[in-house]
Each structure stands twice: as structure tokens, then as C-alpha cells.
Amino acid sequence: MNNSEKETSDLITRGDAIKRIFLFLGAGLLGLFSPKKKAHAGYGRCSLSGCPCPGYVQTYGSDLCNNCGHPYSAHW
């Protein structure tokens, strides 16, 4: 391998490394600025004091939880 081939090989390697760095930084920034999932009613356990309900289960035609009978808005 002569010097020009070695330099070309080194440039390709550096170029790939630079691309990977920018991809890594871009993915990190995307994750940093993407909207966070916020808790909302109807998701998760019941927030009423003493209720052991682990999560809202929809009852057809009603906004009451099939697990505990509390309303949709009580589950976060």
C-alpha cells in the first residue's frame, strides 16, 4: 500500500467516524427535544386514597373502571 492509498483509507475512516459522531449527537438532541409523555386521565392506577386498583380498565358504555368502579378521571 503506497502513501496515497493509505491517506485515502485514513480519510474514509475519519469520514465514517465523523458521520457516526453527528448521528449520535443528532439522535441525542432529538431525544432531548422530543415531547415527553405526560400522565393523563384514564391511564395507570387509581389515584383515590386507599384504592388498590393497578390500572384503568374501560367498561363498555361507561366512564367507570371495570376494576374498581371509580371514574376514568381518577386514574393517572
Can you give the pLDDT at residue 24? 72
Q: Strand, helix or coil at 47?
A: coil
Over range 43-49, report the average pLDDT.
Answer: 88
Contact 30, 43 (CB under 8 A): no
Q: Which H helix or E strand runs over 30?
A: helix 3-33
Can you give the pLDDT at residue 28? 65
Q: Say how far apart CA 73 and CA 70 lie, in whole Å.
A: 8
pTM: 0.46
pLDDT at 69 over 70: yes
Domain ranges (residues) in the chain: 1-36, 37-76
Q: Strand, helix or coil at 64?
A: strand
